[in-house]
A and B are shown apart, each in its own frame.
Chain A
Amino acid sequence: QSALTQPRSVSGSPGQSVTISCTGTSSDVGGYKYVSWYQQHPGKAPKLIMYDVSKRPSGVPDRFSGSKSGNTASLTISGLQAEDEADYYCCSYAGNYTFEVVFGGGAKLTVL
C-alpha cells in the first residue's frame, strides 16, 4: 500500500480554523472507518488526537474534529492556538487480504 497523501504544509492565524486533508483509496481510507490522526511536536513521540475517523480520546480539546468523505479524511482544528503548531499524520487501516496500516506523509501546521 502507498502512503496516504497529505499537504506538506498548512498555516493559519491564532483563532482561525484550518483543515488538513488525507487522501487515500477505496482500499484504505474509503473502505473502512479506521482513520486516526497523530500530532507530533519536534523531538517528541506522536500523540493520538483522533481515532475511528471522528472520535476524540479523553483530554483532547473539542477544537479538534475529524470527518471523512469518500477516500478523503479531514482533520479540522478550530480556534488555533500557538501550541497547535506541530506535524500532523493521518493513519488508516488498509487490509484487503492482510492486515496493514498506512500513514500519511505528514503535514506541518504553522500558526502565524
Chain B
Amino acid sequence: QVQLQESGPGLVKPSETLSLTCTVSGGSISPYYWSWIRQPAGKGLEWIGRIYTSGSTNYNPSLKSRVTMSVDTSNNQFSLKLSSVTAADTAVYYCARDRGAANTLDYWGQGTLVTVSS
C-alpha cells in the first residue's frame, strides 16, 4: 500500500520561501507523476503542480513564477518550494500521486498545515 507523508516547517515568514518534502513509502516513486495540492481553511482545493520522476514539471500558471518542484528518486522523495509567500499562501498542503494521463490523484498524504505569519 503506497503511503505519502508531507514534512516541513509549519510556520513561514512573509516574503520567505515555503519548503515541503513528500516521502513515498510502500511502493516505487517511478514511473509516476507526483502532485502538490493546497487547501486554505474552509475553502476548496487548488492544484499547484506536478513532477514526473524524470524531473519534467507542470505548474499552475497562477503560481508558476514562484513554484519549483524537484524529485529525489534515490530517496523516494519529491519536494515543493514556493517563494515570496504571503498570508494568502496559508493552507493545508497535500502531496499526491497522479497515476493517469492527468488529474487521477489516487494516493494522498494526510496534509500539512503551513501558516505564513511574522
Where the two chains meet, the residues of A that have a C-beta atom closer than 8 Å to any C-beta of B are 1, 3, 32, 34-36, 38, 45-48, 51-52, 57, 89, 91-93, 95, 98-106
Contacts and interface: CB of A to CB of B under 8 A. Distances in A.
Contacts of A48: 104-106
Interface string B95-118: 000001111111011110000000
Contacts of A104: 44
A36 B104 contact: yes
A99 B102 contact: yes
B74 to A, nearest CB: 26
A68 to B, nearest CB: 14
A89 B44 contact: yes
Interface in B65-118: 94, 100-106, 108-111
Contacts of B58: 98-100
Given A34-B101, A52-B100, A57 B47 contact: no
Given A46-B108, A91-B103, A103-B47, 18 more contacts: A32-B102, A34-B101, A34-B102, A35-B103, A38-B105, A45-B94, A45-B108, A45-B111, A46-B94, A48-B104, A51-B104, A91-B47, A92-B103, A100-B60, A101-B35, A101-B60, A103-B45, A106-B45
Nearest to A106: B44
Interface residues of B, number: 22
Contacts, number: 70
A95 B108 CA distance: 23
B16 interface: no
A37 to B, nearest CB: 10
Contacts of A101: 35, 47, 50, 60, 102-103
Contacts of A46: 37, 45, 94, 105, 108
A57 B100 CA distance: 12
A66 B55 CA distance: 33
A48 B107 CA distance: 8
Contacts of B101: 34, 93
A48 B111 CA distance: 15
